[in-house]
Each structure stands twice: as structure tokens, then as C-alpha cells.
Amino acid sequence: MHRSGALAGGLTGAGQRLLTADGLHAPSVFTVTGDIASGGHLRVGSATLQTSGDHTAGGEVLLNTGSSLSGADTLPFSGTLNWLGGMMTGTGTPQIGTGGRWTVAGSVVLQDARKLPNEGTLIQTDGSVSIQNGATLTNNATMDLRGDGAWANAGGPADH
């Protein structure tokens, strides 16, 4: 069963929030219309976090295996994004801003003309990164590739 929910005004403030979908009681698509995780922590598990409008993400965001980030808007990350698996879809632009930090530690997919500019620090500790269907990764700062992670280009340019 597919359910959806709207989170008007965003997810901000101190503390920890968990978005998850069990298929029966919780939405599996959460649409956020405001800033995300400013000063707090947001964990997304087995659900889609869809942005609506240009907003910012600070604090700490955790995308667990089975989760996805989608939308057609710009989402600058100034805090930490820990991406443990799943995908980023849509035509939006999540940005790793100056001082921002993204850690990849699982099998992740960047697809559907998604643009990912890195102006901060992108760290891959393990897992694989697949760039597909016209998605673009542009590195203008630091990429730290650790461990035995793999990169695959399945139709998307990478600019470094």
C-alpha cells in the first residue's frame, strides 16, 4: 500500500526525527515544503523524502538503505548527510555546500538528470556509487575515496 504525507514548514529544530514507512501505518512518500534538519537530526528509512521548493538542509540527515531523495528543486546541505543506501531521483539539485559533508557507505544511485555539485567534502567509505540516466556529479572541492568502494557510470557524466 502506498501512502503519502506532507510536512508543511519543514523539519527543523533540535532533537531527532525518524521518517519511515511500514506500508500500512506510515506514509511511504514524505513531501517537505520547508528547511530540513536545521540544528537537529533526521533519519529516513525505507521511505522517499521529496522536496518541494528551494530549501536548505543543515544538522544531520541519514538516508538508510531503501530510502530515496527526490524532487525538482535545489537542496543545499550545509551539515552532514550520511547516505547508507538508496537513490536520488528527479531533476533537483542537492548541493554539498562549503563546510558540508556527505558520507557514502552503501550502494547508492544518482539518476534522472539529478545534478550533484560538491563544494564541501564527499567521503566514500564503502559501497558503490552509480551515476545513471543523465545524472551529473561535479566535484569542486574534496572527494575522499576510502576502502574498496566502486564507481559506475551508466549514462551520466562525472566532472572532477
Strand, helix or coil at 25?
Answer: coil
Greater model confidence, 102 or 46? 102
Going by pLDDT thresholds of 50, 70 and 90, the confidence category of residue 24 is very low
How far is residue 129 CA from its own chain's centroid?
Answer: 13
Alpha-carbon span 81 to 106, nearest angstrom: 13
pLDDT, tens digit, 9 for 90 and up, residues 114-125: 889 999 999 999
| Per-domain boundaries in the chain | 4-159
Q: Indicate if the pLDDT at residue 23 is higher than 60.
A: no
Cell of 92: 533537483
Least confident of 4-8, 16-20, 58-62, 111-115: 4-8
